[in-house]
Amino acid sequence: MQLWMIKLGDAFRLMHKTLVGPMLLVLALAFFMLIQVAGPPVQAAGLFDYFTEGSPSLSDVEADIESRFPEIEHIAPESLTFAAEDDPPILIDVRQADEYAVSRLNGAIRIDPDASSQEVAAQTKDRISGRRVVFYCSVGERSSRLANRVKTHLIAAGAKSVHNLKGGIFAWHNRQQPLVDDHNLPTPYVHPFNSQWGKLVARQSLLRYKPDANRTD
């Protein structure tokens, strides 16, 4: 009986050695294929249900963001436009470098979405006193998160108020407000973030993942 148990144990160990490796390989390949099919991550996990349950409008996204970040005042693009002449705010672009390179609001400073309060204050300290600070990204998710995180620090550093641009650069672009490119020249293009979120841009022909390399003016 003891010899039989030893042989059985040897058999199980052999099965373990011969099966575990291939099984792990199959699982790894399945995971890789899932990522490829799913495509790039959406801008915010909290908004993912919009795209699994239907096609959201930008207004739906704006309302969701406002409900989740009530501590931040969300201002409409029209408010920013009308106020710009008498009370120019500090504009902070909370997108990645490739998005910023395609277009941005004129005068906007790009700050990484994961920046700390100290990093944001360091990039704005020379002009923050007594001025409004307006954060924006594609639709307002990343900018609301950063604005919410650094608001107290910026107010303490002298900022008059901290806001999020409602609907982000997509809402600004949809209203045909001016944008500039990496050469600080007017441009009609906007980065879509990814193919999914880019559907919220009204003028689909003006989506670009890279700056206009042929521009010479």
In this structure, is residue 214 part of a structural domain?
A: no
128 and 58 assigned to the same domain:
yes
In a domain, 158, yes or no: yes
Give the pLDDT confidence score for residue 4 in this predicted structure: 47
Flag whether pLDDT at 5 surpasses 70: no
Residues 3 and 67 in one domain: no
Condensed to tens digits (0 to 9), the pLDDT of residues 122-133 reads 888 888 889 999
Q: Does 110 fall in a domain?
A: yes
Residues 137, 152, single domain; the answer is yes
Same structural domain, 32 and 52: no
**23 plus 57 within the same structural domain:** no
For 51, the 3-state DSSP assignment is: helix
Q: Determine the pLDDT at residue 121.
A: 85
Question: Please, what is the average pLDDT of the chain?
Answer: 82
Q: Which pLDDT does position 99 carry in this prediction?
A: 97
Position 137 scores a pLDDT of 98
Domain containing residue 73: 45-206
Look at residue 80 in the predicted model and tell me its pLDDT: 83
Question: Are 13 and 79 part of one and the same domain?
Answer: no
97 vs 41: CA distance, rounded Å: 17
* Confidence band of 213 (pLDDT split at 50, 70, 90): confident
Q: Is residue 217 part of a domain?
A: no
Q: Give pLDDT tens digits for 166-196.
A: 999 999 999 999 999 999 999 999 999 999 9
Mean pLDDT of 7-25: 52
Number of compact structural domains in the chain: 2
What b-and-e string marks burial along 102-115, b requiring 16 or more CB atoms within 10 Å of the CB?
bbbbeebebbeeeb
- 49 and 24 part of one domain: no
pLDDT value, residue 201: 97
- pLDDT digits 0-9 by tens, 97-122: 999 999 999 999 999 999 998 899 88
- Is 65 found in the same domain as 21? no
Closest CA to 11 of 3, 147, 30: 3
The whole-angstrom separation of Cα 16 and Cα 4 is: 19
70: CATH: 3.40.250.10
Asked whether residue 192 falls in the same domain as residue 121, the answer is yes
Is pLDDT of 198 > 60? yes
Q: Is residue 213 part of a domain?
A: no
% of the chain exceeding 90 in pLDDT: 59
Question: Does 200 reside within a domain?
Answer: yes
**Tokens coding 151:** 């608001």
**Residue 211 included in any domain:** no
Asked whether residue 8 falls in the same domain as residue 76, the answer is no
What pLDDT sits at residue 52? 64
pTM: 0.76
